[in-house]
Chain A
Amino acid sequence: EAQVTQNPRYLITVTGKKLTVTCSQNMNHEYMSWYRQDPGLGLRQIYYSMNVEVTDKGDVPEGYKVSRKEKRNFPLILESPSPNQTSLYFCASSWGQASYEQYFGPGTRLTVT
């Protein structure tokens, strides 16, 4: 089954404790992206990747890092999480670019205390 998976689905952590949210897709998609969704602010793009080893910033990249060492994986790294990064995070992928149909993962709900 074609899908985008994220882990963990739920995470509660404390300020400053490094964490990684994994994202994996099995569709051989070139394009992957991370979004965060907050009440009243909608979905905002954090980072995206056009292909292996090629990444760029979205609208809200501060406090996040990403890497794309393999085509299928696109982890989101929070080196020193803060409470303002409490949010619902979505990973997405598509064939070649953002304008193509993006397939979204199930989401990761992160709480930073």
Chain B
Amino acid sequence: LAKTTQPISMDSYEGQEVNITCSHNNIATNDYITWYQQFPSQGPRFIIQGYKTKVTNEVASLFIPADRKSSTLSLPRVSLSDTAVYYCLVGPTGGFKTIFGAGTRLFVKA
């Protein structure tokens, strides 16, 4: 499983766009990139998943450059309720092990 590196923490203000970048230099050809959100004392919640280029859903966008060695989770117009820890995971299709890194603690201020 590819190792991932994310910033430990980030601060933002309500209404701003937040971009969290994850580095995964050893990503393999059949690896997907998945992002989860976790609030205190709750289980992680799936946000978005992608393989290459750009993926968008109702919550976020995921940008993956051509070399796939990094990815960026983009949260448009964050609110106080987006304060949480965000995890980037990289793993193969067909895989069964999961490794959560340390995550990025996002703090949204009023």
Interface residues of A (CB under 8 A from B): 4, 31, 33, 35, 42-45, 48, 50, 56, 58-59, 88, 90, 92, 97-99, 101-107, 109
B100–A56 contact, CB under 8 A? Answer: no
Interface residues of B (CB under 8 A from A): 32, 34, 36, 41-46, 49, 87, 91-103
Known A42-B102, A98-B91, A99-B34; judge A48-B97 contact (CB<8 A). Answer: yes
Known A97-B96, A98-B96; judge A43-B46 contact (CB<8 A). Answer: no
Interface of B is mostly: loop
Q: Which residues of A contact B98 (CB under 8 A)?
A: 33, 35, 45, 48, 58, 98, 102
Known A99-B34, A99-B91; judge A45-B43 contact (CB<8 A). Answer: no
Q: Which residues of B contact A101 (CB under 8 A)?
A: 34, 46, 49
Q: Which residues of A contact B101 (CB under 8 A)?
A: 42
Most buried by A among B42, B97, B98, B103: B98
A88–B96 contact, CB under 8 A? Answer: no
Q: Which residues of B contact A107 (CB under 8 A)?
A: 41-43
B96–A92 contact, CB under 8 A? Answer: no
Q: Looking across the interface, which residue of chain A has its beta carbon closest to that of B48?
A: A101
A48–B96 contact, CB under 8 A? Answer: yes
B92–A99 contact, CB under 8 A? Answer: yes
Known A33-B98, A45-B98, A59-B99; judge A97-B43 contact (CB<8 A). Answer: no
